[in-house]
């Protein structure tokens, strides 16, 4: 049977996508929105009644498509348009529709991965930082070059030096959307919690409590991102386990579930377990038998399991045998 040639199909599909994005970006509504950039207020969000363009489209699918279009065309836009587009994405982050918010987060993540690298070419995500001295403030006449930092702020979101930061109120709002959005959007929202810097322990505990239920998600990426956020915010709380006694059992239950996944996921989970055992062992209550080697385990899984068994071994479990 002859092999299916995917190249012509993929080329045609890419052509269709490019045509759709081009049609959206050249639409009269979008161009009117660009031309009204001078009417943006000093906080970087469109002034009331003057935003215009596709961002005001009633259909949330169109607004979400706009976010993706901005990310796709960002490098090709005129310098004065780039600042406006970032402000437009910040405005979309305040949208009432969770899908639109997720699209804006995905767009910002894509832009910052490509434009937020350091001098050595390393790339960053939403929490990344670029080393630069020039800062561009809000304003329609500002230019944005490859070597410039950018400053855009509005509605509790701030982009400074190619790093996104969010306020506590916005962090709570985004966590409130988790119950209503799709799985991929959940991943972007949880990842964005890494951009939140708590001002007190209560703020950290609030976001951690929002994330705990997602440790039990069937989606590995959601569970791992929830764990990442909890560990990160735990750095801002003294004696976290004393304040949330249920946390070790929830994390350990999530680990147990993830250890039933594919070897690649198991390896990723176990490398993170090692880091927790070395630095935050109170977060885990693990049964050492969970990491006994199976005859069909890949060699890198066996090696990592043995490393974890070594870290878990103590006088209480030294005589444990395989069940």
* Residue pLDDT, tens place only, 160-213: 777 888 889 989 999 998 888 888 889 999 999 998 999 889 999 999 999 999
Half-sphere exposure of 208 (CA within 13 A, CB side): 26
Q: Does the pLDDT value for residue 7 go beyond 70? A: no
Which pLDDT tens digit goes with each residue over 271-320? 999 999 998 888 888 888 888 888 888 999 999 999 999 888 887 777 77
pLDDT digits (tens, 9 = 90+) for 11-40: 666 666 666 666 655 555 545 444 443 343
Provide the token pair at 283. 């977060």
Question: In this predicted structure, what is the pLDDT of residue 121?
Answer: 40
- Top pLDDT among 1 and 236 is at 236
Between 66 and 206, the higher pLDDT residue? 206
Lowest mean pLDDT segment, chosen from 38-52, 119-133, 290-304: 38-52
Half-sphere exposure of 2 (CA within 13 A, CB side): 3
* Cα–Cα dist 212/313, whole Å: 28
Q: Which pair of structure tokens corresponds to residue 245?
A: 């006694």
In the structure encoding, which two tokens stand for residue 303, read together?
A: 């090696």
- Give the H/E segment covering residue 161: none
pLDDT the model gives residue 49: 38
Q: Extract the tokens encoding 225.
A: 């991102």
Nearest to 87 by CA among 60, 59, 56, 108: 108
- The reported pLDDT for the residue numbered 205 is 93
CA-wise closest residue to 228 among 202, 193, 260, 263: 193
Q: Lowest mean pLDDT of 73-77, 78-82, 262-266, 272-276, name the range.
A: 78-82
What does the DSSP 8-state code read for residue 216?
G
Model pLDDT, residue 15: 67
What does the pLDDT read at residue 304? 92
For every residue of 9-22, DSSP letters joined together read: HHHHHHHHHHHHHH
pLDDT at 130: 41
pLDDT of residue 222: 93
Look at the chain and count its residues. Answer: 323
DSSP 45: S
Question: How far, in Å, CA of 32 to CA of 284, rounded?
Answer: 55
- Listed as own residue / partner, the contacts of 261-268 with beta carbons closer than 8 Å and 24 or more positions apart are 261/220, 263/297, 263/298, 263/300, 263/301, 265/220, 266/301, 267/300, 267/301, 267/304, 268/224
- pTM for this prediction: 0.72
Enumerate long-range contacts of 267-276, CB under 8 Å, 24 or more apart. Answer: 267/300, 267/301, 267/304, 268/224, 269/224, 270/301, 270/304, 270/305, 270/307, 270/308, 271/304, 272/224, 272/227, 273/308, 274/304, 274/307, 274/308, 274/311, 276/231
Q: Which contiguous run of DSSP H or E holds residue 103?
A: helix 98-115
Cα 300 from Cα 130, distance rounded (Å):
35
pLDDT of residue 47: 39
pLDDT tens for 83-113 read: 888 888 888 888 888 888 888 898 888 888 8
Joined together, the tokens standing for residue 266 give 């198991």
């Amino acid at each position: 049977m002859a092999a299916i040639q995917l190249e012509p199909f993929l080329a045609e599909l890419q052509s269709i996508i490019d045509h759709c994005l081009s049609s959206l970006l050249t639409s009269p509504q979008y161009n009117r929105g660009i031309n009204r950039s001078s009417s943006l207020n000093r906080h970087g969000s469109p002034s009331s009644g003057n935003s215009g363009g596709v961002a005001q489209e009633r259909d949330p699918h169109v607004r979400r498509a706009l976010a993706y279009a901005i990310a796709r065309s960002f490098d090709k836009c005129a310098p004065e348009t780039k600042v406006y587009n970032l402000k437009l994405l910040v405005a979309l982050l305040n949208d009432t529709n969770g899908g639109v918010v997720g699209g804006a987060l995905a767009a910002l993540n894509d832009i910052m991965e490509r434009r937020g690298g350091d001098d050595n070419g390393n790339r960053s995500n939403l929490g990344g930082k670029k080393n630069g001295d020039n800062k561009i403030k809000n304003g329609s006449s500002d230019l944005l070059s490859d070597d410039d930092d950018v400053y855009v702020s509005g509605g509790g979101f701030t982009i400074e030096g190619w790093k996104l930061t969010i306020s506590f109120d916005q962090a709570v709002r985004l966590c409130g959307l988790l119950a209503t959005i799709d799985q991929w959007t959940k991943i972007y929202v949880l990842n964005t919690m890494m951009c939140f810097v708590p001002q007190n322990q209560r703020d950290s505990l609030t976001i951690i409590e929002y994330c705990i239920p997602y440790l039990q998600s069937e989606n590995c990426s959601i569970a791992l991102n929830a764990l990442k956020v909890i560990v990160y915010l735990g750095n801002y709380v003294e004696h976290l386990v004393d304040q949330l006694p249920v946390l070790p059992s929830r994390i350990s239950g999530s680990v147990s579930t993830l250890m039933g996944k594919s070897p690649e996921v198991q390896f990723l989970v176990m490398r993170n377990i090692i880091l927790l055992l070395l630095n935050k062992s109170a977060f885990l209550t693990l049964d050492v038998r969970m990491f006994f080697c199976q005859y069909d385990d890949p060699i890198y899984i066996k090696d990592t399991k043995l490393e974890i068994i070594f870290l878990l071994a103590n006088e209480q479990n030294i005589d444990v045998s395989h069940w």
